[in-house]
Structure 1
């Protein structure tokens, strides 16, 4: 088992040990697991866009798995960069390469409730950042699609739309990127309309306040899925650095006006807001560490508490008088 704790990257971590190796986009080790974190190292990691990391806290009870193994993730990032760079040069999106990326994700995704996306790749430029963001949005969209029992063809089309939802940003940084991306895919007859509608309707809101004024059931199902996943990934990569439960609180605050009710329910039951390794405080005042998840019960994980010099375990799904009141930072 991995001895890890999820924390916000800050100067408070000086002297702590890194819990998971960090790699460059080319697969070169940037920082080895077990390395001591110095002020300079922390500054370098924040400068390249990292906001949360896992540290080794010596707790060998934390069950931690990667949703996508790092070795696979490196290959996906390289392949998507090739797609993006080719699109920049030719104004054409290589459907075959995109399909292969989706196939690899579907073949390697770990759907265990104890699996997490570990932020351990160093982006070297804006395209690398776009690749990382796009892959994250795709993974979460696939997870929701599977929960909604989409068939294989629909799941692939959803994943393609998620992977390419920001492709227009290669050509412009403004809001027009959705129109550019939409036209780019629409001009290639191999892409399904259900994929490029994800780009066209990316910023539409349930109440019609989006740029196109489309609302409620007029917004395509896949667009709704990609939209909420896109917002969540942006939040967890916020400049200040926030943890998943805070990102989910923001999504919840926006849900009434922005997101389809059923999609929102599937989303919050797919994303575990208290990841394994997170230090929390219970309503009885005790500090605890999340060590495992309960499937379909995102707010009721299994926690470990140190009592009288020994560790005890509490399943919050069966101990209904106990609940998490805050996260220890």
Structure 2
């Protein structure tokens, strides 16, 4: 399978991965032949890209670090909790712990897989998908840092709930398609304190989980909010979630901007690392990200174009590529795969549509 922009999808293409509504119901199932009416429906749902199965991407397996059903149910859970909090400010924390334990178990089973986040987020369900991704990314980092099961659960609970305070921020501010005013930004910043007030007195949520909700926008150099604390005075869990939060936000489509490519985001947050993030945690985080995710089209330095087939954990900039177009722009008669760890004279220039 491979990922392509919806603008390049044509009638007759075969959907490789199911697409779900924010409530966890299947919108379009894997294996369906896409008709124009389906494509138009996806556009109406603000879906910008999908996975398709075709001859050039045959046998390419895009593996996620957690099961598809787990991801879908986790998104539906966080949506239900946030809907509850809009009216009651209370929710049942047992469901959150159960889901986090399930995610931890799956991550431990797949701990050798580089992160290749393959969910298809829409602009409309961004908050729910983002919460799940931040939870997954934070837990992977926590596992690599050697946290025990109990601390991982506290980390995961706080990460899954980190944006819960946004339920009381007006929708017109959260989804504003243009630059926020200073006053609007101050209102957005209140979600950390408001969220903390929602969870801090819940007897089933630990103090460290609650602190993530309060402190995930603190920065290592003291430039964050709401308390402007710095360095190791920021709880370890909040330092982890801060990185995961920024990474997933930048690699997601938003109402006011398009997503940024994974390798560009990694370069960006690495550059910020010395100032805004804990350098040790950042290095651990980056080592678990596939810079060029499986199923992505790439342009090589010799002019050829191909699709990422597999990644190399030790050398993430040098994955295995299936060549689809040669350096003359001609489609190959037979697709060959090259391991860039063995072809040091060739490098990836950029990602592209194939």
Q: TM-score, normalised by structure 2?
A: 0.81
CA offsets, 1:213-249, max 9 Å, x none?
2222222221111111111111122232443223333
Closer, same or farther: CA 19–177 of 1 in aligned 2, 3 Å: same
Closer, same or farther: CA 199–241 of 1 in aligned 2, 3 Å: same
- Please name the residue that 2:116 is paired with: 116
Structure 2 unaligned spans of 5+? 171-187, 327-331
- Please name the residue that 2:276 is paired with: 258
Equivalences, count: 322
Deviates more, 1:20-29 or 1:145-154: 20-29
When the two chains are superposed, the root-mean-square deviation of aligned CA atoms in Å is 2.6
Whether 1:328 and 2:352 are equivalent positions in the alignment is: yes
The Cα shift of 1:137 comes to: 0.8
Equivalent pair of 1:167/1:177 in contact (CA under 8 Å): yes
Distance 2:251 2:37 in 1: 23
Equivalent pair of 1:51/1:242 in contact (CA under 8 Å): no
1:20-169 counterparts in 2 under 5 A?
20-35=17-32, 41-42=38-39, 44-58=41-55, 59-109=57-107, 110-113=110-113, 116-120=116-120, 128-169=125-166
Deviates more, 1:158-167 or 1:181-190: 181-190
Pick the structure with more strand per residue: 1
The Cα shift of 1:40 comes to: 6.0
- Please name the residue that 2:339 is paired with: 315
Q: TM-score, normalised by structure 1?
A: 0.86
CA offsets, 1:174-221, max 9 Å, x none?
210100111222212332222122121111222221123222222222
Whether 1:224 and 2:239 are equivalent positions in the alignment is: yes
The Cα shift of 1:38 comes to: 6.3
Equivalent pair of 1:22/1:30 in contact (CA under 8 Å): yes
Equivalent pair of 2:24/2:72 in contact (CA under 8 Å): yes
Greater RCO, CA 8 A, separation 6+:
1
Distance 1:260 1:188 in 2: 29
Distance 1:106 1:22 in 2: 24
